Amino acid sequence: MTHLQEGDKAPDFRSTTQDGEPLTLADLAGQRTILYFYPKDNTSGCTLEAQSLRDGREELARRGFRIVGVSPDSERSHRNFCDKHALNFTLLADTDHSVCEAYGVWAEKSMYGRKYMGVLRTTFVIDAEGRIEKIFTKVDTKNHYRQTSAPTTGRRGDHETRGADHPDRRHVGSSRRHGGSAPE
């Protein structure tokens, strides 16, 4: 469960991309970023989510967004994932979980009575100044591009976000209905 709220300064990070290039939050300054955390390359829910963002990338770019995916997979795994699914955006290799931990999405999970540590599928929309604009904790993997690009209406629940003013803020991620909770 993330400790971050909409309006917070996004935590700084330093990691490497699928191409072995370093990337920091400062490198993303000046443009809006969809920073999405997912459990594992080449699994069903994660692939659907990546394909949705891939298919919407041009429209998102026209609207000033950059897409960056983060998982504990290696650079090599990310390169293979990008090649296999023609992904057209950056993936960060967070093998030590430091980025996931900074964003509060590395947590204990449970499946079939077995507990393990893993990524809580979560997406942060970060504005050009590095502040968190939106947090999506209930990710619709198949339609994530549409979910992240929907205009803000100000009505709670429209985008399945949990902002600072949401009454269930302390329960973020506790009623997840999306894929990616299986050990991967």
Answer yes or no: is 30 within a domain: yes
Q: Is the pTM of this model over 0.75?
A: yes
Tens of pLDDT, residue by residue over 108-118, are 999 899 999 99
Answer yes or no: is 122 within a domain: yes
Q: What is the pLDDT of the chain when averaged over all its residues?
A: 85
Answer yes or no: is 9 within a domain: no
pLDDT category of residue 91 using cuts at 50, 70 and 90: very high
User: Among residues 35, 46, 93, 119, which one is catalytic?
Assistant: 46
Answer yes or no: is 6 within a domain: no
Q: Please spell the DSSP secondary structure of 83-97, one letter per residue.
A: HHHT--SEEEE-TT-
The pLDDT of residue 35 is above 60: yes
Answer yes or no: is 83 within a domain: yes
Answer yes or no: is 26 within a domain: yes
Answer yes or no: is 177 within a domain: no
Answer yes or no: is 78 within a domain: yes
Domain extent at residue 86: 14-171
Angle between helix axes 75-85 and 44-62 (nearest 10 degrees) is: 70
Count up the domains in the chain and report the number: 1
The pLDDT of residue 70 is above 60: yes
The two three-digit tokens of residue 117, written as one number: 């540590």
| 46: annotated active-site residue | yes
| CATH number for the domain that contains residue 84 | 3.40.30.10
